Structure 1
Amino acid sequence: MSELGNRLKEARIAKGYSLEDLQDVTKIQKRYLAGIEEGNHSMMPGPFYARAFIKQYAEAVGLDANDLLEQHKGEIPAPAKEEVRTTMVPPTPSRRQTFAKNSSRSSGMGEMMPKVIVALFIVVIIGVAWVFYQSLGTNDTAEEVPEETGVPYEEPADKDAAPAEEEKAAEEEPAEEAPAEPAEPEASIKVEGTEGETTTYAFSGPDKREMIVKANGASWVAATDQDQKAIFPAVTMQPDDSETVDVTNLKQIRLRLGAAPNMSISINGQPVKISEKPITQNIVIQFSAAE
């Protein structure tokens, strides 16, 4: 076993990870992880993959990947340099070819110039005609309509009295009080039972539910619903990282925790008590509406 592989293996064991757990976190095949620990880099797909796998392994177990690669660069195969392909420089055209191209281009421009001049002349004529037509239209002023004069009409005072009395009566009538909304049921969570690495909880509370998963130390977590459909895949979490999930329409959620004592879970503010052991745990939460 190489010194680099020994350091990585010790860090993995200190985190409480097995090779299977590390495979879930990094998505690197278990045989490659074992090869890194044994210093067998020749089994990797190539030097680039060997460096990338070592860096990802180190980050998953909480080591400084760049510092580790620098300290043990003698043990890691260097990436092969790519060959630089030279490109053929196209031959420079001869003076005769250049002169022929310029001549054909000049003759084409000469043929197009009369057409361009005619088109511009037509556009100018249309513009002058449009301006002249607009000036004729503005000279035709509309006749002014004389304002009507006369005594303004005033409605009798009796017609205003009735609406005023109706408004006063409406103000005196007491407004109907809106019915009070029913109070939202309180949330509660309790342990139903524990079997091996799996602990089952029962949640009772409002129909709208939100779950918050927070890391207090290096750890990883994955979650599925009652149909084994992934809510989010296995993700590595560092201290103060958090995941917020809307679990309103779920009947059940199952969480797989690595380094479980470093995690905290709450639903609608109600904490889920996580046991200190084992390091890797399954948390199953079953939801039901409050009575």
Structure 2
Amino acid sequence: MSELGEQLKHARLDKNISLDEVQTRTKIQKRYLEAIENGDFDKLPGSFYTKAFIKSYAEAVSLDYDSLMKQYGHELPESPQSVESLPPRRTRTSIPSPTRSKLSAALPGLFVFLIVIGILAIIWMLNINSNDDSALKEEVDQNSQNVEVEQNKNAISNKDNKVEPIKDAESNDTVDEGDDNTVQQSGQLEKISVSGDTTNYVLSETDEFHVKFTFSGESWLKIQGNSGKVYVNEGYSEKQDATFDFSDESGVRIRIGSTPHVKMTVNDIEVDLEKQPIAQTVKIELATD
């Protein structure tokens, strides 16, 4: 047992609080709380959540989290640092040079010249198309007359030759409906905790890590992997789909806007999203053996 785990356990026992009550307060599963008390940090769903779980535990038993980290932070496994993408900086407004001022003054005249050239080009193209349409119409009329004569000849020659339609075999009309409704799910997705607008999941028993989004209205996504790579940061509209492959990541952080308009699946397993029109964060860690 680690000294950090002992401090948390002693504080809990001094306040006569059971692990079940701590689980209720922190929304952290009991097996993870026991792992923290025993110092088995490798049993947690990844270093991504270790400090967050310890902070929630410390607050539940009225311990100062910062003091604990200063004394026993060396016991925790090192966690990779993710880099949040920053919005682009505004460019400085440069002072126009005399040459640029002259060019700006000449732009209106150049713009008018280009408009005139465009109008003349459109008139020329309309004249050419008009001539081509006339020639094409004459050719179509002539072809129509030839087709009518040929059809009359064929109607006379085929008047007495009737052919019965061939019916398709009934076996070709049979459709195996069971195959269309088959959905293969890969792995097990487990909800481990909820904190504010953030829901934490663990994906286990699989090496595949595919996430699909289907939009029924306006929304947006921002997805960042544990490696620091930002996969998307943009808006989506109704009837759009988006699919991502995170097989090379140990976990991802997904920020979703207006969740009632979004259907999210992980390896074909549907994720239960908040039905209120608010932004929501979903964190998924890929469990390692």
TM-score by length of 2: 0.36
Larger radius of gyration: 1
